[in-house]
Amino acid sequence: MLTKNNTPVIGKQLDKVAQTIEEHLVVRNKDIERATTELQRAGGKMLRPSFLLIFAALGDTSKQSEEQLISLAASVEVLHMATLIHDDIVDDSPMRRGIQTVQSKYGKDIAVYTGDLLFTVYFELLASSGDLGDFIKVNSKAMKKILLGELDQMHTRFNQEITMLDYFRSISGKTAELFSLACREGAHFGYCPPNVEKLATRIGTNIGLAFQVLDDILDYSATRKDLKKPVLEDISEGVYTSPLILGMQKNREAFCPFLDKKEPLTVEESDNLRKLVIESGGLDAAKELAQRLTQKALDDIDHLPKGKAQKLLLKLTKELLKRTY
Amino acid sequence: MLTKNNTPVIGKQLDKVAQTIEEHLVVRNKDIERATTELQRAGGKMLRPSFLLIFAALGDTSKQSEEQLISLAASVEVLHMATLIHDDIVDDSPMRRGIQTVQSKYGKDIAVYTGDLLFTVYFELLASSGDLGDFIKVNSKAMKKILLGELDQMHTRFNQEITMLDYFRSISGKTAELFSLACREGAHFGYCPPNVEKLATRIGTNIGLAFQVLDDILDYSATRKDLKKPVLEDISEGVYTSPLILGMQKNREAFCPFLDKKEPLTVEESDNLRKLVIESGGLDAAKELAQRLTQKALDDIDHLPKGKAQKLLLKLTKELLKRTY
């Protein structure tokens, strides 16, 4: 994880991003303020702002406005937080980042409006970050793509015929789009040359895809304590992720009893399903997939201008891959 | 209500607004598309786009872009729709515009994402409506004020000490801000002179406030059939509106048994509460208030440039007042 100490290139800026976000979370309604501030302080990894700032650091620093970059970096994190809160309503998730979700602690009503408020803060941060010109359209398209990805995921719930194509379509929006936006926006407002902005967009997509696959893998290899959220809760919500889908391709029948069950899985059933995913090769196939996607990103990073920022990007991307093994 | 026939000034443009909205509601997920399209077709009054277009018609038509005005008019209606859908989740409302709410027909999950999708369509319409310059900040501030108004209303729920000041604070955001934005935006992008834009902002606020008070009054004077939504459902949700607050100022004790009740009111109790609000003078006081607010708007409208658009605005505003008596 990124901290001020291990990332001298962007560490101070990340602090400013966190401060900017907190300033924008101040509202009259103290329940809402507490809910958003708790989520913020519970320490998201701030990956999206980090990628934005690293790509900006690759550009022409003499032309950049640090204030603009901080606002934009804050905006991508806030958009991420907004989607998390609404996802947790839809998923009825009890935990997020090791603390209770807004929905489970404050109830559905506050969770709906808190997410909405964060969407407006996202918009506010964009609007106040100086003239974005046509790039405002890139933002609106990205936001729509993210939402459509969420809808795709909801639509394929409990669909035991789900393919890897369905899966990729959903995570391309739901997860990869925001990483891609962050990287591209950093390159753009960091005054990188057009070819770097193009690479940034693709690197962001591949990192985002890899990140999601790794997140899926964690569900099958980590304990509840490591993960700071319940293990395999996706299954009882009908959300089938890459290790499961890849496992089912080998031995569909064995999985049916787990998926046909209407209630949440017991601890024993979770353990058995985890074993099945491992034995069927689903977990290994997902790991290979994550590695392939990360390698694509690393290959592209290799073509970026060399220097501290590029080194940091390389390090961060490698760490993202390492985190499951 | 506005139709193409009775509003030759903006009728054709309103059709284009409806068409633009429908085009933006097309998504892969057909449940969501159906949910939003049904709400759109159930015929909102399209008041906010109408006010936007009328104020634009007061300006310099030679400088205007009709396409831009249509996009902006669509954006205010879509933002309105987004807030309606999320309000209905928070209020657990069964009916809206004479049809089932998205929440009650499709469930909470779809309702959350459908509202979110409409927020992104709002953003998309703004982003695609040409360079808005600094006016994008006016939009982001308005959106935040609307959300904060919703939060204020939620915060004062079941508070029997609620004052008219609390009430005004909430409806200034929740309802008046969007009317004000619509009028101001119409004047601005219609190339009205600055004094007209300033009047537009104030007229929008007063119309919005009057509109909300009238909406409250309807709850106490209309039948379920007229209103296309359940009568007095606000009470059991702890939302106390102007006729009730004004009535309580006269005779607080008489109201307590109704407000202390934890379950929804029976039909008989609703009737008794309605009588109490009337007898205590709450309904008349609310009607007076609505009339004062409308009169303020009418006085300002009197100072606008004369012509067809100003006449239409006068007519529409008077009709808004007439609808309760």
Domains defined along chain A, listed by start: 11-320 (1.10.600.10)
- What does the pLDDT profile of chain B (325 residues) look like in tens digits? 455 555 667 889 999 999 999 999 999 888 889 988 888 888 778 999 999 999 999 999 999 999 999 999 999 999 999 999 999 898 888 888 888 888 888 888 899 999 999 999 999 999 999 889 899 999 999 999 999 999 999 888 889 999 999 999 999 999 999 999 999 999 999 999 999 999 999 999 999 999 999 999 988 886 655 555 556 777 878 889 999 999 999 888 999 998 888 778 888 888 899 999 999 999 999 999 999 999 999 999 999 999 999 999 999 999 876 754 4
- What does the pLDDT profile of chain A (325 residues) look like in tens digits? 455 555 667 889 999 999 999 999 999 888 889 988 888 888 778 999 999 999 999 999 999 999 999 999 999 999 999 999 999 898 888 888 888 888 888 888 899 999 999 999 999 999 999 889 899 999 999 999 999 999 999 888 889 999 999 999 999 999 999 999 999 999 999 999 999 999 999 999 999 999 999 999 988 886 655 555 556 777 878 889 999 999 999 888 999 998 888 778 888 888 899 999 999 999 999 999 999 999 999 999 999 999 999 999 999 999 876 754 4
Touching check for B26 and chain A: CB below 8 Å? no
- H/E stretch holding A132 reads none
Chain B: nearest CA to A101, how far in angstroms? 16
Position A32 scores a pLDDT of: 87
Answer yes or no: pTM beyond 0.95: no
Interface of A with B in 152-181 (CB under 8 A): 152, 154-155
Position A323 scores a pLDDT of: 59
Chain A neighbors of B31, CB-CB under 8 A: 155
Nearest to B86 among A116, A147, A152 (CB): A116
Per the CB < 8 Å rule, is B112 touching A124? no
The alpha-helical segments, DSSP class H, found in A6-128 are: 11-24, 30-41, 47-57, 66-91, 102-106, 108-127
CA B194 – CA B217 distance, rounded (Å): 35
Position B5 scores a pLDDT of: 52
Chain B neighbors of A35, CB-CB under 8 A: none
Per the CB < 8 Å rule, is A124 touching B116? no
CB-based contact A310:A187 (threshold 8 Å): no
- The amino acid at residue A257 is P
ipTM confidence = 0.91
CA B38 – CA B220 distance, rounded (Å): 28
Per the CB < 8 Å rule, is A113 touching B90? yes
Nearest to B32 among A120, A141, A151 (CB): A151
Record the tokens describing residue B324, joined without a space: 């309760």
SS3 A99: strand
CB proximity list for B77: less than 8 A, separation 6 or greater:
B17, B21, B44, B46, B48, B49
Touching check for A253 and chain B: CB below 8 Å? no
Angle at A121 between CA B136 and CA A178, to 5 degrees: 95
- State in Å, rounded, how far the first CA of chain A is from the last one: 15
Position B324 scores a pLDDT of: 47
- Sort B62 into a burial class: Cβ within 10 Å, 0-12 / 13-18 / 19+: exposed
Chain A neighbors of B24, CB-CB under 8 A: none
The DSSP bridge partners found for residue B96 are: B99
Chain A: nearest CA to B231, how far in angstroms? 22
Closest by CA to B243, choosing from B198, B290, B195, B204, is B290
SS3 B99: strand
Best residue of B30, B132, B144 to probe chain A, by most A CBs closer than 10 Å: B144
